[in-house]
Amino acid sequence: MVKFILGKLKIIFFLLLGTILIGKEVLALNDNYCEKQSLHILGKKNNDVDNVTSNIYNKGGGANFFGKACTDPWPGMPNNVRKYISYLSLAEQKKNATYIEKLLTQKGIGISGKLSKQAVAALIGNIIEECRMNPGLWERWNVTTGWYSGYGLCQWTPSSTFFKSMKLNAKKANKLVNQNPAKMAKKQLKYMWKTMTSTNPDVKEWYEKMGTEKYHSPLKLTAKQFITSTQPPAKLAKVFCSCYLRPENVKQRNKERAKRAKDWYNNKIVKENWND
């Protein structure tokens, strides 16, 4: 009888042990990816990320603003970096766009005067295309120099210029956006305005003449004229893309951003497909 009971207890013990090991394996698999709703704390395994989370930031006026340190994929991407591929959900993107719209139309941010709703929609259309409303998105994870080092709301390239201006580095930026995405977004909006309006050739990024002559801007506007313009948001989205961002394939990029701006201005819509 005693042997029978001991045998049963051994079976139960090994079943419980198997369940625990399987559970750990599932968690280990999940740790390889950034989840949209609740990210694991990867900082304990990788010094580049601390306290990774996509929860709502509820301090300092940042409620209902989302952000997380993640990356776009790229050809030849190392396997150990794939766990950082992730994007905000559509609901999170919409909340971020609403937050930025309210901030810029009611208060401005380092800007002399409030922005028109048309200009804000133009900015939102471009930001959706650049980073899906995530201030913590990398073009290539933790790459801060070269052609493929875009980062943040406008995917500034090289990102080292932005980091130097904000007294940040990759590690500090990742930590800040995971802990306080609203604060990071405000820093980036201030930097955007600084580089739009500066007369210092080492800082300036807004070129209305170059934008109209080489990058197909439909209007020749200074940055200060842009932010108060009541021209259609689709047209203003092209102005911002052409005069400030100046990407390759600018005609196609302008079309995409014009659609995004129009969708947001008319219906507060963020659509599923990035380039639909």
pLDDT digits (tens, 9 = 90+) for 188-210: 999 999 999 999 999 999 999 99
Q: Read off the pTM.
A: 0.78
Q: How confident is the model at residue 69 (pLDDT cuts 50, 70, 90)?
A: very high
CA distance 39 to 86: 10
* pLDDT for 1 beyond 70: no
pLDDT, tens digit, for every residue of 95-154? 999 999 998 988 878 776 789 999 999 999 999 999 999 999 999 999 999 999 999 999
Selected from 3.30.70.920, 3.40.50.2300, 1.20.1530.20, 1.10.530.10, the CATH number assigned to the domain covering 31-267 reads 1.10.530.10
CA distance 207 to 202: 13
CA distance 77 to 61: 37
Phi, psi of 85 (to 5 degrees): -75, 120
Read off the pLDDT of each residue in 161-172 and give the average, rounded to a whole number. 96
Angle in degrees, 0-180, between the axes of helices 250-267 and 233-240, rounded to the nearest 10: 140
CA distance 46 to 187: 25
Domain boundaries in the chain?
31-267
* pLDDT for 8 beyond 70: no
DSSP state of 84: G
What average pLDDT is seen over the chain? 82
Burial class (CB in 10 A: 0-12, 13-18, 19+), 191: buried
* pLDDT for 222 beyond 70: yes
Taking the CA atoms of 238, 242, 248 and 251 in sequence, report the sign of the dihedral they define.
Answer: positive
pLDDT, tens digit, for every residue of 262-274? 999 999 999 876 5
